[in-house]
Amino acid sequence: MFNGIIYNQGVIKSKTKNKNSLYLKIETNLNFNNKDIGTSISCNGVCLTLTKILKKNIFFYLSKETLDKSNFKFIKTGDKINIEKSMRYGQEISGNYTQGHVDTTGRVVKIIVLDKTWKISIQYPSKFKKYLIEKASININGVSLTISKINKKSFELDVIPHTLKLTNLINLKKGDLVNIEFDIFSKYLLKINN
């Protein structure tokens, strides 16, 4: 479980691609020790299991399911990703509950800069529209954000300078794919009512 409040990033140092999987080496300033091996880490919003630590490098194995649902299938060496350790008991929750179970990817269709705020429009597969509620939480590349507007084929987010400074959202441009995890409560409530 994560809360989508990002303070750290990592850099993809290498990737080993197999037919149906990917092995990643990520460099980060976050502190890890051997006790962390086997724990869940949010990498660009995707819950991944830490398999190895080597100095400032951490390693992850990504299955076909993860590659199919996320933007990791297009990741490149040198790309920056958002990293968050899983929550600890008693930790303050200032974002929203998120599992790191990415639902789909969306494509950035427009970025408008208003003063220092970025208004980002993201196109998404229409079958997920039922999960969208204005002013509800959503996670984009692991970052907890609020939906400001829902359009026919896209939704809008207002990203403040502080969030841009701490996350890889500052690197977004039109056409980029982002990882999307919809609000967990909307998914469960819809499931109960169906």
Task: Give the pLDDT confidence of 76-116 residue by residue, as tens digits.
Answer: 999 999 999 986 666 666 666 677 789 999 999 999 999 99
Could you tell me if 29 and 72 lie in one domain? yes
Which residues are CB-neighbours of 88 under 8 A, at least 6 positions away?
A: none
Does a structural domain hold residue 150?
A: yes
pLDDT, tens digit, for every residue of 124-145? Answer: 999 999 989 899 899 999 999 9
Could you tell me if 114 and 172 lie in one domain? yes
Number of domains in the chain: 2
Q: Which pTM value belongs to this model?
A: 0.91
Could you tell me if 165 and 110 lie in one domain? yes
Structural domain of residue 12, as residue ranges?
A: 8-85
| CATH at residue 19 | 2.40.30.20
Does a structural domain hold residue 67?
A: yes
Could you tell me if 76 and 120 lie in one domain? no
Could you tell me if 116 and 181 lie in one domain? yes
CA 109 to chain CA mean position, Å: 18
DSSP letter for 173, please: -
Residue with tokens 């190895």: 52
Alpha helices per DSSP H over the chain:
64-69, 161-166, 184-193
Question: Is 184's pLDDT higher than 70?
Answer: yes
Alpha carbon distances (Å) from 34 to 39, 52, 59, 99: 10, 8, 12, 23
